[in-house]
Structures are given as C-alpha cells and as structure tokens.
Amino acid sequence: MPAIWDLLDFDSHEAVHVFDDRATGLKAIIAVHSTHLGPAAGGTRFWHYAEPQAAVTDALRLSRGMSYKNAMAGLSAGGGKAVILANPARTKPQDMLDAFARAVDSLGGKYITAQDVGMSEGDMVSLSKVTSHVAGLPGQGGDPGPYTARGVFLGVQAAAKHALGTDDMLGVHVAIQGVGSVGGGLARYLADHGAKLTLADVDAQRAADLAVELGGNSVAATEIMNVEADIFSPCALGAILTEASVSALKVRAVAGGANNQLATGHEGRMLADRSILYAPDYVVNAGGIINVLRHIENADDAEINRRINAIPERLAAIWAESDLGGKTPAEVADNMAQKLIGR
C-alpha cells in the first residue's frame, strides 16, 4: 500500500488522523483537508467498507469536497470528514460512540463533526455529551436532510433553466437515484412543481411506494442511469459517474445531492463533450451544511434561507464562466474553491 500522501485523493491535506480503540472496536479516520477559512467542518459517515483502503479514500475525497463546499457557500469553515468503519452488522455500541467522541475532542476544535450517512441526530446528541465539537444538534439546525433537499431542488431547477431554457418544472422529466432523506425530499419538491418523476433506490420498495404516492414511476436501482429523461439527479452514494455510465446517459443535465459524483474527475470533460450540463455536487448540496453551521456565525433562519437561495446564482456564475472559457463546470468550480481556500 502506498504512503498516504502518495494516494491519488490526497490533496495536501493538513492532517489525516487514524483511530483504533481496541477496547470498544472503534476504527475511524478523521481527515482535515483545510482550516484556511475556519475549523474543518464535515459530517461523520458510519459505513461498512469491503476493505479499509476504501474508507481512507472516502475520507480524503469527502473532506476535500467539504473544503470546497463550505468555501463556495461562503461559510467561515474549512473542510473535514470523519469515517467510522462499521462491522457488517452495522452495530453502534454506546462505548464505541463515546470513544469516537473522545477522538473528535482530542483534536481541540480543529474538526467539527455533524450528521452524515449512517449517523442519526440522536447519535450527534450522544457525541455532544463527550465533546463540544458537534454541529447540527436539536435547536442548532438538527437533521440537515430537508435543507439539503431544498438546495438540490433549486439546483435542479437552475439546471433546467440553463440546459432546457425553462425553470418551470411542469412536465420536466427527472430521474432520481436514491430516495432517502435528500432524494425523497427532492422528489416531493419536484412533484409539487409538476415534474415527471422516475425513481430508484437500493430499497426498491421505498422507491416504488414513493412513486405511487407522487404519481411517478420506479425502476430498479441498476436501471436508473439508463432512463431517458431531461435531468439525472444522483442522490445516493458517490463515484457513480464513470466512463461507462456517462456514455450511457440519455439526459440533458446532471444535478443531484450525492457527494463526489465524478469517479475520477475526468468524467466532467466527458459530460461536456456529450453536451450534458453538470452541476458541481458540492455547490448543489450545500443546503445541509449551511444550516448545520448556523451556530458558528449566529445565523438566523432568514440568513440560512438567503444562502440556500443563492445556490442557483452560484451555479449560473460557474456555467457562465464555463461557457465563455472552455473549462468544464467541474474545473471552473474547483478553481473558484481553491482560490477561496488559499491554494
């Protein structure tokens, strides 16, 4: 295995911490990408990985994405991410959560954790009993999912305007991959605005039930990226835009809530070459972290909404520069974010 700084996804990270608490079974990684704009903020992911190297890659990619996301959203926060390696049964004993909270606390506030895949609001409350470096607690924003979903809806609407010439979603066909908190919330927003929906989820019954509720259709999770639609909205896990999947897309735009949608980064150019508009994921899905970090800047609901409502404006600026300069939207967004974090 190569040294961590030789890994493809190591991006001059300020620190990568590995924790192994044998008494509780905790195995965790906390990656701090940048603290240029403030403490490294990003959620904790609780996930079972087939092999540990995948957890390291996830932590590196996600923490870099948080740096870019927080910077582009105008937050006084850097980027970090934590990954707890779950066992196959995905059990979370209290003593293991306590050990993780101590790990977060040992960093002295350089990393602020929050809710992410596999972690609940209740888990955040539990962590906060051991460390103060927790965001998104009840009364401080809570579950980020609904805020993320609203931001993603605004991003999808902006993509429709740029790629289709209309932000009226009536009759616009959107294929959504993943209908959990974010994808499900997005589907409801779109249904309220008259969009045509095709839904898919690894939990096929969940997708089918939501499709019936909203008057849409559902397909198998393996088929959603082959659906002919106006917009594809990935709202599950990342790295789903590969050479093969991009070649198979039958849409005009990609705009969704999943993190790190481009598997290697080169897929951004492939999308552009196929005239498929790409909405950089960390711009689209910033609603949750904007809300979660409200207490850092003492932001009220009006300010949170103002920042989430600015997502279409940020996307429009990215696409305008891309159209003029020949760089892909992903390249433009990355360059903007890198400047904001002093790189």
Query: Residue 326: is it exposed, middle or buried by C-beta count within 10 angstroms (0-12/13-18/19+)?
Result: exposed
* H-helix segments, 199-328: 204-214, 243-248, 267-273, 281-284, 287-292, 301-309, 311-325
List 69, 81, 110, 196, catalytic entry = 81
Strand positions, DSSP E, 150-282: 173-177, 196-200, 217-218, 231-234, 253-254, 277-278
DSSP code at position 88? T
With contact defined as beta carbons under 8 Å apart, do 179 and 335 qualify?
no
Query: Three-state SS across 112-132?
Result: EECECCCCCHHHHHHHHCCCC
Angle at 77 between CA 73 and CA 80, to 5 degrees: 105
d(CA 212, CA 218): 9
With contact defined as beta carbons under 8 Å apart, do 270 and 329 qualify?
no
d(CA 259, CA 262): 9
Tell me, yes or no, if 81 is annotated catalytic. Answer: yes
Residues with active-site annotation = 81
